[in-house]
């Protein structure tokens, strides 16, 4: 009987296989078990977002959204969501070092948050979770008010960096467009 690193019993027929096949199968199973454990560890962290009332307040009082990772490709989520938010009345400021100096959605693209020459209300992030700590460090060097990581993105280190700098207005793992639709447009969508 073989056991995984976590002690879980595996198939009793494994000893009947040849040594090479058995070892290869054991390696594959151990690799999959390690990946599962890593995934469980990553999933153990879950950011606690502010209440709906606070998120609604963020959206109602904000006018300028800097979008880190905004792409000029119209087929990307960052572009579609940003365009929709622009159509809803927000000024969208693209932040993308590869497109800096160009234009996206009719606005000048900046290489970093620090280069934006005017105040920003929300920094909306479209970079993978492992890059959130870097964006958080850039964020705390600005006067931006709200750090927002899009749906599927959250990172404990980024949260700790922000809170350590006294920046408590944080939203993670939420789509800004969906939250705007749900909390701001919701009543008007249903005629209330």
Q: pLDDT tens digits for 162-188? A: 999 999 999 999 999 999 999 999 866
Over residues 108-119, mean pLDDT? 98
Retrieve residue 140's tokens.
């705390």
| Domain spans of the chain, in order of start | 52-190
Retrieve residue 130's tokens.
């492992």
Q: d(Cα 47, Cα 25) in Å, to the nearest integer? A: 37
CB 23 within 8 A of CB 148: no
Three-state secondary-structure class, residue 34: helix
- Fold classification of 52-190 is Rossmann fold (3.40.50)
Question: Per DSSP, which regions of 30-100 are E strands?
Answer: 64-68, 91-95
Q: d(Cα 10, Cα 17) in Å, to the nearest integer? A: 14
Q: pLDDT tens digits for 118-139? A: 999 999 999 999 999 999 999 9
Residue 44's pLDDT is: 65
Q: What is the pTM of this model?
A: 0.75
In this structure, are strands 107-108 and 103-104 parallel, antiparallel, or unpaired? antiparallel
Q: pLDDT tens digits for 13-46? A: 445 445 555 555 555 555 666 666 555 555 567 8
CB 159 within 8 A of CB 105: no
Residue 46's pLDDT is: 84
């Amino acid at each position: 009987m073989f056991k995984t690193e976590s002690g879980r019993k595996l198939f009793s027929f494994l000893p009947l296989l040849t040594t090479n096949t058995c070892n290869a199968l054991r390696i594959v199973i151990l690799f999959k078990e390690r990946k599962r454990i890593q995934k469980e560890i990553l999933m153990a962290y879950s950011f606690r977002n502010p209440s709906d009332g606070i998120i609604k307040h963020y959206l109602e009082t904000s006018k300028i959204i800097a979008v880190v990772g905004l792409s000029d490709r119209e087929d990307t989520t960052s572009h579609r969501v940003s365009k929709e938010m622009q159509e809803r009345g927000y000024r969208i400021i693209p932040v993308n070092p590869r497109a800096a100096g160009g234009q996206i959605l009719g606005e000048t693209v900046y290489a970093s948050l620090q280069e934006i020459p005017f105040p920003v209300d929300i920094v909306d992030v479209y970079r993978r979770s492992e890059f959130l700590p870097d964006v958080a460090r850039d964020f705390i060097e600005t006067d931006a008010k709200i750090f927002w990581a899009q749906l599927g993105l959250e990172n404990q280190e980024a949260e700790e960096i922000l809170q350590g700098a006294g920046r408590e207005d944080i939203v993670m793992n939420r789509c800004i467009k969906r939250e705007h639709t749900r909390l701001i447009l919701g009543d008007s969508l249903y005629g209330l």
